[in-house]
Structure 1
Amino acid sequence: MGEHGFLAECQLQVNERVEGFRESGERKFYSDLRQEKSWMTPKTRDFRTTGVVMRIDEDWFKRPGVKQLLASSLRDLMLREFSISAQDIDAVATNIAMIRNGQRESISDALVLFDATHGTLRLSEPAYLNLGYLLDRLERSVSTTLTEDQGISQDMITAFRTWLDHLEGENADAASTDDLEVGEGWIQVFDIGSIVARRDNQGELHDVKVTGHEFSLIDDRVQLFYRYDIGRPVKAMASAESVEAVGSEWTVAYLNRETGEKRKSLDNEAD
């Protein structure tokens, strides 16, 4: 990774989750409704796709609302410039994790544009190959807008362009994932109470309920293990590499492997 971050097109695993809905302007959550209607459970969709990751290690990018605004603006611009349907690409700037050594290490200084459809159409590819062009179009759009109160500002465009210039000078394409740094020891984990699948030595999946987390030093690196219930007073654990998301009875949280602190989100802004 370069000093200022990286720009990469890569394979992604997307986990989408619907926790509820709005009715007559009121938020209703499945976790509350299922007490009376058991069939009302969170809806999930997991799929593999391609996308473009922009990790921007800059102070301006960490200001509240900036990364989400930039992600949505780039997506909207790509829809117009490349005649892409709105349902075919999406953008996120929160709940992003990078898998390394079997652990989901959270990164909060990034945005991702990705293909929201199955297959390998690589509709988000222009964000990687033609980011400079997209910045030019975005700057032109800003210059013709009378107010910047609710949108991208010229200062943001300038800072974004400076970041891209730095990447080109650092030859960021040659970066290795071994050189990537993660913020303050935070990793993404399945939260306590989640029902997930544990893959055994024969490759078969077994549903387990997460009851806790532990870290162990193995082969000179700290590895995450999940404790799970087996119905007996025995301490059962599974490595993070052997645990997968299945169904819809799971949630994620962020755990600091140095302090043990747990959070629901690392972002100050709403998703």
Structure 2
Amino acid sequence: MEEPTAELIRTQLRRLRTSAGLSQEEFGKLVHYSASMVSAIELGQRPLERQFLGRADDVLKTGDLLLALLTIAERDGQSSWFKPWLEAERNARQLRYYNPTLVPGLLQTAAYARRVFRFDDLRPEGEVERQAQNRLERQAILNGDEAPQVVAVIDEGVLPHRDPIMREQLAHLLKMTELPNVHILIIPTKAGLHVGLSGPLALAMGGNGGWVGHLENQLGGAVVDGQDDLATLLARWESIRNEALPRQQSIDLMKEVESRHGPQ
């Protein structure tokens, strides 16, 4: 999170609290935090927490001002390599996703996203929560009058199994298939080797009909907008999609996996 925005939130919190005539101890009781915790947050000694700011908005009747500022701060705090893709994703008319090992971010549950971010065992828990929340907020584009068409291709081996978090994720995928603009296609295990196993890719088509690609790696990611590179990615996308089952057969396969690995 960028410090200028974080300091603005803390300043607004102090101003709103004192304007309401509340001491840190009185305010803490209302938001169910200790006075020392309130002090630490206002002084920047503890990170800003979404739950705390949500309660503060309710108590201080701000109209969700503090949460809105936090959302802006979190967006500003995204890695520089990811910001161009976020912009393309927010403005897309069509989105295409493929990942050979994970459920695409726009289709992840909170618990699944946290598990993914915890792959990096050096990442602080507060950062895990922030990143997971950012990922969930991105999913807002899936609903609404101008929601993009989303096609996500997933390998059958990625489908969750017995683990409770993974079962919840599979149930969520099936729920997402009920949205008319979301298509989840499964590549069956029997398809064997295919070009998609080289790595994940994402594609976004903007309002002008032009495409932008995104590739991730161990160190970050990169936006792809060169004509030749985009032509390669689009061709590979078609090859990947051709390996997948049709929509209804994909749903049937997900339901079959769910029935095999449901509660025991």
TM-score range, shorter chain: under 0.3
More strand by share: 1
Taking structure 1 as the reference length, what is the TM-score of the superposition? 0.21
